[in-house]
Amino acid sequence: MLKVGIIGATGYAGEELIKLLLNHPQVKITLLQGLVEKSTPIENIFKNLRSRTDLLCTNLDLEQIISKVDLVFLALPHKVSMEIVPTLLKHNKRVIDLSADFRLKDPLVYEKWYQIKHVCPQFINEAVYGLPELYRSYIKKTNLIANPGCYPTSIILGLAPLIKNSKINLDQIIVDSKSGITGAGRMPTPKTHFPNCYENFSAYGIFSHRHTPEIDQELSFLACKEVKIVFTPHLLPINRGILSTIYVDLKNSMSQQQLLEIYINFYKKEPYIRILKEGELPQIKDVAHTNYCDLGIFLDKNRKKVLIISCIDNLIKGASGQAVQNMNIMYDYKESSAL
């Protein structure tokens, strides 16, 4: 059995990781750590885990991690993971980091957007961006996964087939994304406080959302040239889910069937991508609590415009489910195990 630990077990992503990994036939959770006043049974924090596990959640202790686990999931806030990753790698632990600390390949870009100096830039190039549909062969071999952000996952998966096949103009990609409130994390803010978000719908992070450079980076890698999108996130008054609506211009005319075939061929071996039939609309309720990404592709033939709708669960395919999918690839387990 693979011994795994979850650091940051008391957050939304940590909770989802626990629930998923308890169902994994080849994994044993041997350590849970988080921000707690004292050692506490995890079932006292998450009542839905009653009778499922007797694990305790303790405060961060690197010596315990090193002695008890083979693989560590870091479900920590941005800026924290980079403080402990060097020690874990030094002791030959494999790491799947759900924060942004190793996603951006240029440490100066990270420092600009996260307003803090990166303390271990030497590991940035070692990290593999954990989007299985694009980097599966690299994921198999690495010891450090930078698990993608939720918005970037929905957007990159929606655009990758058209960019990789050079079918669209790259200078005017517009993305309008909406996320459930869990995307903001467990700590409440005035914006996510129930009376403020209930029966409300609002944009935020205009030209300043921290996922922007991550999206631009990965789309630029696909295009082999610089890509900068216009990205506007919105907060939905629901618990979970992301719906991204993406607007692009085709270079040349094509039929709806030709357009769909590009997506079908690109993702034909991918177990968690579902290309919807012509005219079908993705919706959050169809992907909630799953690791699927549903894609709907729509063509305005007269104007050579394409509209892509991408739906994921921000906590599963956008975080913990994708992390488990990456673990399965790293250890050559069945990719759908626990998912």
Active centre residues (catalytic): 150
C-alpha to C-alpha distance for 14 and 11, rounded to whole angstroms: 5
C-alpha to C-alpha distance for 260 and 216, rounded to whole angstroms: 24
Helix (H), strand (E) at residue 155: helix 150-164
Is 189:245 a contact under the CB 8 Å cutoff?
A: no
Helix (H), strand (E) at residue 158: helix 150-164
Closest by CA to 73, choosing from 96, 47, 102, is 96
CA angle 278, 281, 285 (to 5 degrees): 145
Is 9:321 a contact under the CB 8 Å cutoff?
A: no
Closest by CA to 146, choosing from 106, 91, 104, is 104
- In eight-state DSSP terms, residue 316 is I
| HSE toward the beta carbon, residue 67, CA cutoff 13 A | 4
C-alpha to C-alpha distance for 260 and 263, rounded to whole angstroms: 5
Closest by CA to 176, choosing from 203, 196, 195, 157, is 203
- Secondary structure of residue 312 in the 3-state scheme: strand
- Secondary structure of residue 48 in the 3-state scheme: helix
| HSE toward the beta carbon, residue 309, CA cutoff 13 A | 15
